[in-house]
Amino acid sequence: MTTLWQPLHHPRCRPMEYDEALAWYWHKGAGRVIQQLPEKERDITQLSWMLQRWRLDPICFAVEALRTKLMPYQAAALLDLADAPFELYQFYQCDAGKPKRQVLIPSGHGLGKTRLLATGILWMLITHMFSHTLCTAPSSNQLTGRLWSEIRKLFRRLREAWQIIADDWEIQGSSIIHTNPDYGDWNAVARTARPEKPEALQGAHALDDDDADGQLATIFGDELENPATGGILVVIEEASGVDDTIRKTLEGALSEEGARLLAPGNPTRPDGWFADDIERTDRYAVHTLDCRQSNRKKTYHLPWRDMAGKIHQLSLNGFVSPTYWQNILAECDGDDDADYFRVRVKGEKPRSALFSIIKTHWVETAQQRANDPDSLNEWPIIGLDFGLTSDKHGMAVRKGFNMLDGQEWLPKEDPEQVTLEAAERAIDAQELFNARYIIGDSNGVGRGAMEYLTRYYRERPKEKVKVVHYNSGMGANDKKRYNRRRDEMWHKYGRKWIANPRCKLLDLPGLKRQLTAPQFSERNNIIFVESKADLKKRGIESTNLADALLQTLMVHIPEAKPLETQPEPVQKLPTIFQKHFDRLDRHKQSGSIIQ
C-alpha cells in the first residue's frame, strides 16, 4: 500500500481510504487493476472506478466529466463540500483548515458562483447513489432560470463525453430525475424559498443507513450494500436574500449526518441568518470571494493529473474586468471600506443596511459644469412634487441635461390655497420656459393641482402641453428589480442622469443635500429607496425639490400617463378648490399673477 501512496494526515481532514487512493492515483492504481481484467469487463469496470475517482475529487469530475475548468477558489470550495482527504488539498494547494461539507460563500459580483453551484449539484447527483439535492433561492428565475440553464449547459458537455452516464438522467423544468422509475428518490429538485410557505422545504432527507452495521444483511444472508449511499445536499442560491424562516426549516435536513450545504450569495444585509452564519467559522467552511481574485486581465492556473499520471496546469482567465471595481471605488469616493464596495467587490457584509444612491462629487461636479449645448433642442419639462402639511412643495424645470429652474415654497396655511398656488406656479413656468410637459405626483396632496392642470391645458390645445400624472407610490414598472416607482426613479434613472458628464445642475440652496441624502437597501435583489418618512426619522427634511427634478426623467416611462391617456371626462375637482381655480382662470385672462 505504501508503494501506491504515502498517507498524509491533517487534523481537519479525514484520511484517504485505499480504494480512493487506487482511483485517485489512477496510473499506479485503478489503471493497472483494469488492465489485468478480461477485455469485455474493462469498460464497465473503468466506469465504476471513474465514479469512485469523481466522488473523491470534484475537480476531476469537473474536468473529466463536465469538461470545464475551475478557478482556484472554486476548487477550494468544492473540496470542502466533498470532505476531501488532505492529499487533495496539498495537490491543489488549497487551505485544508476549514470545516467540511457545509460551505458558505459570501461573494462579490461576477465570480462564477452559478457555475460552481451547477458543478456541485451534478457532482452530488451523479457520484452519490440515491442522493437527494434540494435547491432553493428567493425567486424562481434564480433557480429554474439562471441555475438550471447553467446545469443544462454542463449536462450537454457531459453527454458528449459520457453519454452512458447522461442517458440515465432527464433534466425537467424544476428537477433532475433518473430515467429508471425505480430510482425516483434519487434526484435534484428546485423549490422557491417563500417565507409564507416554508413547509414546501420540509421533510428533505436521503441518508440510507438503517442497516449500516450489516446486522439485517447477515441475518438474511443478503449482500451488504455500500453504506455510503444516499445523503443530502442543500443548495441556497443568493443566500442573503433567503428569509430566516426558510433557513430554520432547512435545519432539519441539515441535521442529517453527513448533510452538505452549498450557499453562495452577495452579502447585501448586515443581519439575517447568512450575515450571522458567515461569522461562524467553527461550523462552516466560509469562502469569502473578492472580485479582485478573478481579474479578467490575468491568467490563473489549477493543476490536474490525468489518468496517465501527467500533471497539467489548466489555465483560465479571471471573470471580472478591473473596470468594474474601479468604477465602484470611484462611486465610493475612493473608500474601499465603504459598504457598497464591501458588498459588491469584497464580498463582505455591510455595516449598515443602506447605501448611497447619488454621490456628493457627482452633484458638485454637475453644479460647476457649463450648460450642455447639445440639449438646446430638447423640450423643457416641468416637474412638481407636493409635500405634506408641514413640508415644502417643489418645482423643477429640466431641458435635456440642463436644469433650468428650481423652486421650493411652504404651502399656505389655508388649505384652500395649497393646490391653487402649485398649479399657478406650474402655469407661469410653462409660459416662461415654453415647456411641453408638466409631470407631477398626482397621488394625495398633488391630486387637485394635477387634475386642474389637465383640465386647464385640455381647454387650451394650442399650447400643446402634455400633463403627465405620476404616482410614485405605485408598484415599479421593473418589478424584478424595484419595489415602487419612486425607487425606480431615484436608483434606475436619477443616479444615471446625474452621473452623466453632460449633466448641469443649478447651485441652489439645499439641492445637493436633497439629492445625496436618500439611501437604498436591497432585499431579495429588490431595491428599496428611503421614503420621505424614513428620511425624517434620520433628521433630514423632505426632498421635494430633488423629487420634482427627478420626476422630469419619468415623462417617457411607460407607466406615466400623459394627457392623451387620461380618462374622459376629467373627474370633477373637489369643491373646496373649485372657486379658486375659477379665480385663477380670471386672473390669467386678465394678465395678473398671483404671488
Over residues 456-515, the pLDDT tens digits come to 999 999 999 999 999 988 999 999 899 999 999 999 999 999 999 999 999 998 899 899
Residue 111 grid cell: 465570480
pLDDT recorded at residue 566: 42
Query: Is residue 175 within 8 Å of 143, Cβ to Cβ?
Result: no
- CATH code: domain 355-590 is 3.30.420.240
* 77 vs 224, higher pLDDT: 77
CA distance 550 to 21: 65
pLDDT recorded at residue 441: 86
- Cα distance from N-terminal residue to C-terminal residue, the chain: 98
- pLDDT, tens digit (0-9, with 9 covering 90-100), for 534-564: 888 776 778 999 999 999 999 976 544 444 4
CA distance 328 to 385: 31
How is residue 17 annotated by DSSP? P
pLDDT recorded at residue 45: 94
Any idea where the domains of the chain sit in the sequence? 63-211+224-317, 355-590
Residue 94 grid cell: 488549497
Residue 229 grid cell: 449511499
Query: Is residue 246 within 8 Å of 193, Cβ to Cβ?
Result: yes
Q: Is 103 helix (H, G, I), strand (E, B) or coil?
A: strand
Query: Is residue 513 within 8 Å of 544, Cβ to Cβ?
Result: no
CA distance 179 to 166: 10
Query: Is residue 332 within 8 Å of 350, Cβ to Cβ?
Result: no
425: pLDDT strictly greater than 80 = yes
* 43 vs 202, higher pLDDT: 43
416: pLDDT strictly greater than 80 = no
pLDDT recorded at residue 194: 64
Q: Which CATH number fits domain 63-211+224-317: 3.20.20.30, 3.40.50.300, 1.10.357.10, 3.40.50.880?
A: 3.40.50.300
292: pLDDT strictly greater than 90 = yes
Count of other CB atoms within 10 angstroms of residue 303: 14
Residue 332 grid cell: 465610493
